[in-house]
Structure 1
Amino acid sequence: MVSTAHAVGRQQPVAVIGMGCAFPGARGPEQLWELLRDGVDALGEQRKERFSTDTLNDSDADGRGTAARDRGGFLDRVDEFDADFFEIGPDEAARIDPQQRILLMTAWEALEDAGQPLEGLAGSRTAVFVGQMHADYWEAQLRQGTDTLDLDAFTGSHQRSLASGRLSYAFDLRGPSVTVDTAQASSLVAVHLACQSLRGGESALALAGGVNLILGPHQELMLSRAGVLAPDGRCKFGDEDADGFVRSEGAGVVVLKLLDRALADGDRIRAVLLGSAVGNDGRSKPGLTAPSVTGQRTAMRWAYESAGVLPGEVDYVEAHGTGTGIDAVELAALGEVLSEGRPSGRPCLVGSVKTNIGHTEAAAGIAGLIKTVLCLEHSQVPPSLHHRRPSTRVDWNGLPLVVPVRLQPLPERGRPTVAGVNGQSISGANVHLVLRQSDPDPIAYRPPAGPGRPQLLTFTARSPQGLDELAVAYQAYLAPHGAGRAFELPDICHSAAARRTHHGSRLAVMGESHDALARSLQDYLSGRADDAKVAVAHDIPAGERHLVAPVLSVRPSAWAGLLHSVTPDGLPAGVSWTQLCEPTGRYVPVPLSPWQPGSFWLTAGPAARSCPGSV
C-alpha cells in the first residue's frame, strides 16, 4: 500500500533574473506590459498565408472538414530568423521548425535581459527546460513528399528533443537539456523542473520556457469539432458567456538562479520563486480529459507548503483561465485553497492573460508567469478582458476571488506581494508556482548634481549594420525620455561593457552625461563623429574582452586618462573593457542586440528563402 501522506520541506527561493518573450502584439516583456496595462485584445484574423482556410471557416462547426473559427493570436513574420547570428546555413535553417528558431532568439533575449554574457556561460552547468506540444512543421514537410526529407528535417522538426538541445548546442550549455510535453501545462512544468535542478545542485543557471506556433489545419479541425473553440474568437475568463478558448502563438523564456547566488553575483532580481508543485488528477474525475477540483487543489496546497506561504496571504493568482467550462472547476479549487486563513474582506485578485493574447498552449504557462512577474514589478494588475457578467457556475459570494476589469494597484500589505500561477492540461497534469516581489533595490538612483567625470560607453554587434542599429537604440535609450534616464551613467556603462556578450563590431563613446553620450551617438550615426569621443572597429575576434589596438586607433591620446596602461605608441595594451567601468557598478537593463533576419521556409527544393505561403 502506498501512503497518501505528503510532506515536503521548504524549498530554496529561486530568482527570476531575466525574461524574453514573443506574443501576439508584443515582442519583449516591456511591450507585453504595455499591451496588458492598456487592456488590448491582441487576437486577430486567421493568417491565410499559413495554410488554406477556404475549407476551415464555416458557420456550421459540425460540417466535415470545416472549422467555425476565423480569429486567433498570431505572431508576425514567423518565417524570419537570424541564421547568420547562430551560424546556421540557409538550407538547414529552412528545415528547422520555426518553434526552435523563435526559441533561439527569445532565449538569447532573455540571457541579455539577465546580463549573462555567453563567454561566462559556455561550458557551464546551465540547464535548459522547454515545453513544446506540436510538430506542424514536420507534418508540412511530410506533405511535400518523403523524397525531400533529410537529416536536417529530422533534427529540425521531427525530434522535439531538439527544442531544448538546440539551445544547449547554440550556447554551449552543459547542464540538463530536456523538452517537456505535458500538453498545456508544459512550460510551467519546465519551470518547476528547472527550479528543482537548481535546488539539487545539478545546474547553476537555468533557462525555462515554452513555445507554440500554429502552422497546420488539423488542430483547428479537431478542436472545432469538439466544440471547445470560442465562435467569436474571444477568451472570456470567468464570464457567463464563456464558450471556448482561442488558439494562439507565442514563446517565452525565463532565466533562473538560486536567490542567494543571484544576490552575490549582482544580478537584477525581477521576482522570486518561493516554491512549486506538479501533480496529476489520477482518477479523481469522471473522465480522462475532464478537469478535477481535487487534483488542482492538491497541487496548489503542495506548492504553498513547499513555499512556506499561507494560502490566505496570496494577493494575486494568474489562472489557467481558458474561458471554457473548466474555469468553474479551477475557480472552485482556487477559492477553497485561498480561503484558508484569509481574513474577511480581503479577496484575492485572479486574472488570465489568455483574454489578451489567447491560449498559447505549450507556452500558456510561461505567458502567465511573465505577466505575473510584470504585475509584481509594477505593483499593478491589468484587467481581464471580456468579463462583463460573472459566471453563474461560480459561487462568487462564497469564494474570496475577484476578477479585475480595470487596471488596479496590488494591495499594500506592508510586505512583498505574494502571487500564484496556476496551470493544468488535458493530460491531467496540474502545476502551481508561488512567487513574491523582489526586495527593494538597495541602491537608490541619485541624479548627479552636475557633469561628472567622463564615462566610456562600449557596445558590440555581430556586423557593422547591427552596430549602427544598436547605436540608434542606445541613442533613444539615453534621450531625455528614454528608459536609460532611470539609471546612473556609470551603471549603464558597466552593464554595457561587463554584462553583454562581445562581438566583432565595436563602438566606444565617451561623455560625461546622458545627453553628451546621446549627442556623440547622433554624430556617429550622421557621419560627423568627433574622433576624440568616438572610436569604432570591426572584425575583432568574437568573445575577445579587451580593447585591442584597432578600437582606439583614432586619436588615442584623448582616451589615455581612462586607460590603466598604454603602449609606447599610445595604444591600449590589452586593457579589459571592465577595467574602464566603475568597479562597483551594478547591472541595469540596457538595449538588446538587434536581429538581422532573413526569410526561411519550405519550398519544393532543398533550399528555402520564400514566404510562408507554401506550407
Structure 2
Amino acid sequence: YGAESSIALSGNPASIANRVSYFCNFRGPSLAVDTMCSSSLTSIHLACQSLRQNECQVAVAGGVNVSVHPNKYIMLSQGRFLSSKGRCESFGEGGDGYVPGEGVGAVLLKPLARAVADGDRIYGVIKGSALNHGGKTNGYTVPNPNAQADVIGRALREAGVDPRTISYVEAHGTGTSLGDPIEIAGLSKAFQQDPSEEAYCAIGSAKSNIGHAESAAGIAGVTKVLLQLQHGELAPSLHVQQTNPHIDFSQTPFTVQRELDVWERPRVDGQIVPRRAGISSFGAGGANAHLILEEYREPDLTREKMNEPNEQNGQNEVPGMIVLSAKNEERLVVQACQLRDALRTGQSSWKVREIAYTLQTGREAMEVRLGVLAQTMEELLAKLDSYVEQVGQAEPAGKGNLYYQGHVKQGQEHPGWLTDEEDMKENVKRWLSQGRYEHVLDAWSRGAVIQWMELYGDNRQQHPRP
C-alpha cells in the first residue's frame, strides 16, 4: 500500500467494542481489552466490576479472534510456539505447541437478583474472578506458577468457596511441555490438597477440541463450562492417551477428563454442593485471569408460580398468548414451523404460559406478525398446524379465532389508540379484565406496543425456545 493509494484502511482495536456500543446505542463503559490470551476472560472480570460499581445495569463481554495475515504464523514459527502435530495436546505426552483457532463469543451479564427479577434465562452464576501479572520471570513468555496460584486463590476467596467444592477446572492447557506442568503446579498450590486425598476435580481444556482461540480463549472456556452445566455432563479433553510425564497427577487433586461423563454434584463435609468450575486464562505476556462459575438452580417455587392463574387480572383460566414475528411472511412460516416442531419433541416439560412469556419478552417484534391463543399444548399445536397449512390462501378458510395475523403497516395507516402507549395500556387492562384476550393479540398483530412484562407481575421466567 504505497503513499499514492487513495484508500485508507481503519484497524483501530477500540472499534471492536465501540461499534457495538454505537450500533446498539449502549451508553455505559465501552472497552477493547488486549491482554493477549487472557483478553476475553479479563473483559468479563472488568464487566463484573462495572456492574458492581453501578456504571451500567447490563453488560456484554466476550472476545473475538481471527487470523488474517501470514505474519502471525511466521512469528509463531520463529518462536517455536506451534504444534508440530497440528493439534493441541493439552496435558498430553509429546505436546510441543499449540494450534491457533478462530472464534467469537460473548455473554450477557446482569446482577443475579436483577436477572431473577426480570425472569431471564440464567445459564450460570459468576461467583468470583481475579486478575494479576506474573512479574519478572526467566523469560517474557515464561509463566510464573506462584502468580497463577495467587490469582486462582484470590478468585476462590472472592467467591467465598472452598477449593474442595470445585469439581471441574477448565484449564488454559495450551499443550506445551513447559506451560502445562507450570499450570498444574500453580493449581495444586492454590487448591492446597492434602497429599493423602484422592483426586476429586476433573480438568480439561477446550483447546484440545477447537485449538487455541487466543484472545477469545477465555470466552471459549466459559462457553464450554456453561454448556456442561446446562447438560450436566463433562466433555472429554482430547489427545491425552498418555499424560505429560512431567506432571505427576497422583500428587494433585486433578484428573484429566478423557471421556464424556455425568457431572455429579460433589459431597463435601456431608453436604451436596452445586456444580462449580474454575476457568483459567493466562496471557503470553504474563497477564493472568481466573473465574469461578457455579450452576444456577431455579427454585421449584418459581416454575410453580409461573403456571399459576394470574390473580392480578382476576382470571382463573388465562390462556397463553403466543406471539411470533418476522421480516416477511415466508420467514414467519419458518418461525411457526420451528416452534411447532420443537413443541412436538419437548412438549412434555414445556408449559404454554412459559412459552408465551418467553416469546413475548425475549424476541424482537418485527413487521409481519402472528398471534395464537391457546390453553393447552394440544390446542397450540393444532392452531400452528392450521396457520401453516393455510398460508398463501387469498382468504384462509375457517381462520376464525384460530390465529391473528397482521402487519405493522396496518397500525401506521390508522394512528391513534393503536400506537399510543398509554391508551393501549388502558385498553389492554380492560380487555384482560373482560377476558377478551383476542383483542390484545389482534391489536399486537397490527403494530400495537404491548407492555407484556406488566401482565405477569413477579411470576415470570424465560426459557430457551426456537
Q: Same fold (TM over 0.5)?
A: yes
Count of residue pairs brought into register by the alignment: 426
* 1:33-69, Cα deviation, whole Å (9 max, x unpaired): xxxxxxxxxxxxxxxxxxxxxxxxxxxxxxxxxxxxx
**How far 1:181 moved relative to its partner?**
0.6
Corresponding residue for 2:450?
576
Q: 1:224 aligns with which of 77, 83, 108?
A: 77
Alignment partners' CA distance in 2, 1:579 and 1:242: 53
DSSP 3-state at the match of 1:180: coil
Aligned residue type for 2:5: T
**How far 1:277 moved relative to its partner?**
0.5
Alignment partners' CA distance in 2, 1:564 and 1:470: 21
**Contact in 2 for aligned 1:277/1:299 (Cα 8 Å):** yes
DSSP 3-state at the match of 1:236: coil
**Contact in 2 for aligned 1:353/1:384 (Cα 8 Å):** yes
* 1:425-451, Cα deviation, whole Å (9 max, x unpaired): 111100000122213432476899xxx
Corresponding residue for 1:301?
153
Residue 460 (1) aligns with residue 334 (2): no
Q: Call closer, same or farther: CA 1:575–1:430 in 2, change over 3 Å.
A: closer
Alignment partners' CA distance in 2, 1:581 and 1:267: 16
Corresponding residue for 2:342?
477
Corresponding residue for 1:537?
406
**How far 1:510 moved relative to its partner?**
2.5
Residue 506 (1) aligns with residue 352 (2): no
Runs of at least 5 residues in structure 2 that lack an aligned partner in the other structure: 308-316, 421-430
**Contact in 2 for aligned 1:562/1:580 (Cα 8 Å):** no
Q: Call closer, same or farther: CA 1:473–1:581 in 2, change over 3 Å.
A: farther
Deviates more, 1:520-529 or 1:351-360: 520-529
Residue 312 (1) aligns with residue 312 (2): no
Q: Call closer, same or farther: CA 1:419–1:145 in 2, change over 3 Å.
A: farther
DSSP 3-state at the match of 2:110: strand
**How far 1:167 moved relative to its partner?**
1.3
* 1:179-222, Cα deviation, whole Å (9 max, x unpaired): 10111100000000001111111111111100112222221222
**How far 1:583 moved relative to its partner?**
5.2
**How far 1:500 moved relative to its partner?**
2.5
Q: 2:189 aligns with which of 290, 313, 336?
A: 336
**How far 1:166 moved relative to its partner?**
1.3
Aligned residue type for 2:404: A
Alignment partners' CA distance in 2, 1:444 and 1:436: 19
Residue 256 (1) aligns with residue 109 (2): yes
TM-score, reference length from structure 1: 0.63
Q: Call closer, same or farther: CA 1:176–1:572 in 2, change over 3 Å.
A: closer
Corresponding residue for 1:180?
33
Alignment partners' CA distance in 2, 1:211 and 1:478: 34
**How far 1:531 moved relative to its partner?**
4.2
**How far 1:323 moved relative to its partner?**
1.3
Residue 430 (1) aligns with residue 288 (2): yes
**Contact in 2 for aligned 1:494/1:585 (Cα 8 Å):** no
Q: Call closer, same or farther: CA 1:434–1:369 in 2, change over 3 Å.
A: same
Corresponding residue for 2:276?
418
**How far 1:145 moved relative to its partner?**
8.1
* 1:391-421, Cα deviation, whole Å (9 max, x unpaired): 1111212111100111122233212122100
Alignment partners' CA distance in 2, 1:170 and 1:468: 29
* 1:281-302, Cα deviation, whole Å (9 max, x unpaired): 111x201111111221111111
Corresponding residue for 1:148?
7
Q: Call closer, same or farther: CA 1:226–1:170 in 2, change over 3 Å.
A: same
What are the within-5 Å matches in structure 2 for residues 494-573 of structure 1? 494-527=357-390, 530-540=399-409, 561-563=435-437
Aligned residue type for 2:366: H
Alignment partners' CA distance in 2, 1:161 and 1:360: 20
Alignment partners' CA distance in 2, 1:464 and 1:587: 29
Q: Call closer, same or farther: CA 1:505–1:591 in 2, change over 3 Å.
A: farther
Residue 588 (1) aligns with residue 462 (2): yes
Q: 2:47 aligns with which of 186, 194, 197?
A: 194
Residue 161 (1) aligns with residue 35 (2): no
Alignment partners' CA distance in 2, 1:573 and 1:328: 61
Aligned residue type for 2:450: S
DSSP 3-state at the match of 1:509: strand
Cα RMSD of the aligned pairs, angstroms, is 3.2
**Contact in 2 for aligned 1:328/1:394 (Cα 8 Å):** yes
Q: Call closer, same or farther: CA 1:255–1:294 in 2, change over 3 Å.
A: same
Q: Call closer, same or farther: CA 1:226–1:441 in 2, change over 3 Å.
A: same
| Richer in helix (by share) | 2
Deviates more, 1:576-585 or 1:530-539: 576-585
Aligned residue type for 1:270: Y
DSSP 3-state at the match of 1:397: helix
Corresponding residue for 1:239?
92
What are the within-5 Å matches in structure 2 for residues 58-207 of structure 1? 146-149=5-8, 153-154=9-10, 158-207=11-60
Aligned residue type for 2:40: S
Aligned residue type for 1:305: R
DSSP 3-state at the match of 1:320: coil
**How far 1:590 moved relative to its partner?**
4.2
Alignment partners' CA distance in 1, 2:195 and 2:250: 15
**How far 1:279 moved relative to its partner?**
0.5
Q: Percent identity?
A: 33
Alignment partners' CA distance in 2, 1:241 and 1:515: 57
**Contact in 1 for aligned 2:60/2:106 (Cα 8 Å):** yes
**How far 1:577 moved relative to its partner?**
6.0
**How far 1:346 moved relative to its partner?**
4.3
Alignment partners' CA distance in 2, 1:487 and 1:372: 25
Q: Call closer, same or farther: CA 1:466–1:215 in 2, change over 3 Å.
A: farther
Alignment partners' CA distance in 1, 2:2 and 2:383: 54
Aligned residue type for 2:156: Y
Residue 392 (1) aligns with residue 250 (2): no
Q: Call closer, same or farther: CA 1:442–1:182 in 2, change over 3 Å.
A: same
**How far 1:387 moved relative to its partner?**
0.9
DSSP 3-state at the match of 1:254: strand
**How far 1:561 moved relative to its partner?**
4.3
Larger radius of gyration: 2
**How far 1:574 moved relative to its partner?**
5.6
**Contact in 1 for aligned 2:90/2:174 (Cα 8 Å):** yes
* 1:249-303, Cα deviation, whole Å (9 max, x unpaired): 11111111111222222223221111111000111x2011111112211111111
Q: 1:442 aligns with which of 270, 278, 300?
A: 300
Aligned residue type for 1:587: Q
Aligned residue type for 1:537: G
Q: Call closer, same or farther: CA 1:587–1:410 in 2, change over 3 Å.
A: same
Q: Call closer, same or farther: CA 1:515–1:243 in 2, change over 3 Å.
A: farther
Aligned residue type for 1:379: G
What are the within-5 Å matches in structure 2 for residues 334-413 of structure 1? 334-340=187-193, 344-412=197-265, 413=267
